[in-house]
Amino acid sequence: MKNVWTRPIGELVMANPIVANYKKMWPFVKPYWFRAALSLLLTLPAGALDSAIALFMKSFTDDVLVAKNAKFATFIPLLIVGFVFVQSSLTYAVKYLNTWVGGKITIDLRKKLFHKLMTMHTGYFDTTNSGYIMMRYNNDADASSTGLIENLRKMVTRTCSAIALICVLLYNSWQLTLIAVGAFALAGGLIFIVRKSLEDLVRKTVVVGAVAMRAYNEAFNGNRTIAAYNLQKDQETRFAELMNNIFSLNMGIVKHTGWLSPVMHFIVSLGLALVFWLSSSLIVKGTITSGNFTSFVTALLLLYHPVKSMGDTYIAIKTAFLAIERIFEIFSLPVKVEDSPNAVALTQVKKEIRFEQVNFSYKPDVPVLKDLNLTVPVGSTLALVGNSGGGKSTVVSLLPRFYDVTEGKITIDGTDIRDLTLHSLRDHIAVVFQDNFLFSGTLRDNILIGRPGASEQDLMRAVKSAHLEDFIGSLKDGLDTEIGERGMTLSGGQRQRVAIARAFIRNADIVILDEATSALDNKSEAVVQRALDNLMKNRTVFVIAHRLSTVVNADKIVVLNEGQVVEEGTHKQLLAIPNGAYAALYNAQFKKKE
Ligand SMILES: Nc1ncnc2c1ncn2[C@@H]1O[C@H](COP(=O)(O)OP(=O)(O)OP(=O)(O)O)[C@@H](O)[C@H]1O
Ligand SMILES: [Mg+2]
């Protein structure tokens, strides 16, 4: 095995986590490298100018205070003002450039993260905490770019300033420098002690932070359920626990790091005491002048600030690195559903859709669909009925590839759907769910989602077919009515008809209806059903319904229980099976109605 001493320097440098993190970030910095480099370059003199003031102190003390030479009294103040002016201007320029570069990189990172989010498969959303998504996708981008650049600037300024000040120290007295630098080195070394415990704590803080975001999210989206079940107290208690948790973690960070500053301060003061003690004898012996001493102490005092804040800057850079790690973890997440390398576009469904020996499980070892075989000729309607949890929704979610089959295959005209481009496949499918997501915006926006750029004529036809005409006519702003976030200002039946209009305008070959009428009363169901009948005309349809009245006309009905087909045939054929599963379902509903 290669050890540290035999590994080439380059490899060692690359293995360093700091370098590795900067390397990862490089593609994002690259487009703005010039401004980033310029700002870094401007940082160097800005940091070093502190030492000029310390240096002036020698001449001032020796020539003015001791030798009583008044010439300096006009010359030095002017120089100081000049230097400070240059330093302030540089600081401003650097701050501006850094904010610009950091802001640009944050935006690029967020865009790329959002793109990643958009390509993720349905399963990722099933199992990922929404608060986590908001935190990581939004906050980490900022923490990793602006946080990193700003703190890198601070680190460079402070290092430059420290090096220049140490030169001033050395210029004045190497003996005193030894003591001072020793004290600072000791103080600086403390940072490494807190490093490890800090990392763990920062990680934990991010996790509970994400849970807190989820709590807000659930409070918002679940507000009606919370009200209906009187869950307010319960939610508050859980939230309070979470807050206490965050508090303890923050206190943990302070406990592990808060002692750092005072202890550093103490060590540095000890060094200072030692300097005073030693310098008395050096001055008396004539080894150094009074000017050397004042200049030394000034430099030492000025040195304290950059050295002390290097600890904080180090922690901030560490936090930025953790954010970078989390971001690149997201970038490297596998996308489970994507185009195969030689995928072809689906142009038209000509013959049939087949499920061949399809097995599927959401979680390993928990089979949901078992050896499923279905053939759906183009233009026909297949109805799926059966027990709740039997796998009906799962069957239809495999067709647009929300999930990929675990075993077996689904084909369209003989081509495995995994060999079709995802975009073209989904372009040929229109889905109406039980609970359809409406976006904030107008009714028109929400319907046009089905086919952006559709003509006004098509839009009106979709509205008419979805039986939305009367409703829209009754609105002051008609199609341009804003419907609020998630369409909460509409009734359940209206939301469903908007979704049907959206599916309608899509004009897709394949239509999937998953419990599209189940939430409605008989009267509105009749309206929605008529809308659905329009939608189903001349298309290949997969329909799932608990109310069997909606499926009696299907070309084929499949009864699915526990992920297996137990019966299939037309309504008539299935009713004829003595003690059949479908007959039992049908009789149960039929009798209830009577
Ligand atoms: N996203 C998911 N992750 C894990 N398991 C799931 C997921 N969705 C459904 N399941 C499980 O898969 C099984 C089949 O669910 P599915 O939704 O397909 O049933 P269904 O026949 O549509 O039921 P229902 O008539 O109640 O809508 C159930 O046991 C369910 O718990
Ligand atoms: Mg279902």
pLDDT at 14: 43
Ligand nearest to the CA of 368: 1
Are β-strands 407-412 and 352-361 bridged in parallel, bridged antiparallel, or unpaired? antiparallel
Ligand nearest to the CA of 123: 1
Residue 562's alpha-carbon distances to 360, 389, 425, 518, 547, in angstroms, are 12, 7, 28, 21, 19
**Alpha-carbon gap, residue 31 to 17, rounded angstroms:** 23
- Residue whose CA is at the smallest distance from ligand 1 atom 10: 362
- Å from CA of 361 to ligand 1 middle: 10
**Alpha-carbon gap, residue 226 to 462, rounded angstroms:** 36
**Alpha-carbon gap, residue 501 to 149, rounded angstroms:** 49
Residues framing ligand 1 (Cβ under 6 A): 126, 362, 368, 388-394
> Which helix (H) or strand (E) segment is 374 a member of?
strand 367-377
Read off the tokens for 21: 């993190």
The atom of ligand 1 lying closest to the CA of 563 is 14
**Alpha-carbon gap, residue 506 to 462, rounded angstroms:** 9
Indicate the burial class of 76 (C-beta count within 10 angstroms; 0-12, 13-18, 19 or more).
Answer: middle
**Alpha-carbon gap, residue 447 to 454, rounded angstroms:** 10
Strand partners, 512: 431, 542
Read off the tokens for 492: 């359940």
In testing the pocket of ligand 1, which one of 358, 365, 392, 396 has its CB within 8 Å of the most ligand atoms? 392
Residue range(s) occupied by CATH 3.40.50.300 in the chain: 351-428+541-594
pLDDT at 518: 64
Residues in the 5 Å CB sphere of ion ligand 2 = 393
pLDDT at 41: 87
- Å from CA of 564 to ligand 1 middle: 13
- Å from CA of 394 to ligand 1 middle: 6
- Å from CA of 514 to ligand 2 middle: 7
- Residue whose CA is at the smallest distance from ligand 1 atom 2: 362
pLDDT at 591: 66
Which CATH class for the 351-428+541-594 domain? alpha beta
- Å from CA of 471 to ligand 2 middle: 29
The atom of ligand 1 lying closest to the CA of 546 is 25
The atom of ligand 1 lying closest to the CA of 392 is 21
Ligand nearest to the CA of 391: 1
pLDDT at 73: 66
pLDDT at 47: 65
DSSP conformation letters of 440-494: SSBHHHHHHTTSTT--HHHHHHHHHHTT-HHHHHTSTTGGG-B--GGGTTS-HHH
Q: Tell me if residue 431 falls in helix, strand or coil.
A: strand
Task: Give average pLDDT by consecutive 10-residue segment, the chain, 594 residues.
Answer: 41 54 82 90 77 82 82 74 86 89 91 92 87 82 83 84 90 90 83 71 77 83 79 89 88 81 84 89 88 90 81 79 87 89 92 95 92 94 92 94 94 94 93 84 89 90 87 89 77 85 90 79 71 82 84 91 93 89 85 56
Ligand nearest to the CA of 364: 1
pLDDT at 470: 86
Domain range 9-331, CATH architecture: Up-down Bundle (1.20)
- Å from CA of 388 to ligand 2 middle: 7
Residue range(s) occupied by CATH 1.20.1560.10 in the chain: 9-331
The atom of ligand 1 lying closest to the CA of 515 is 27
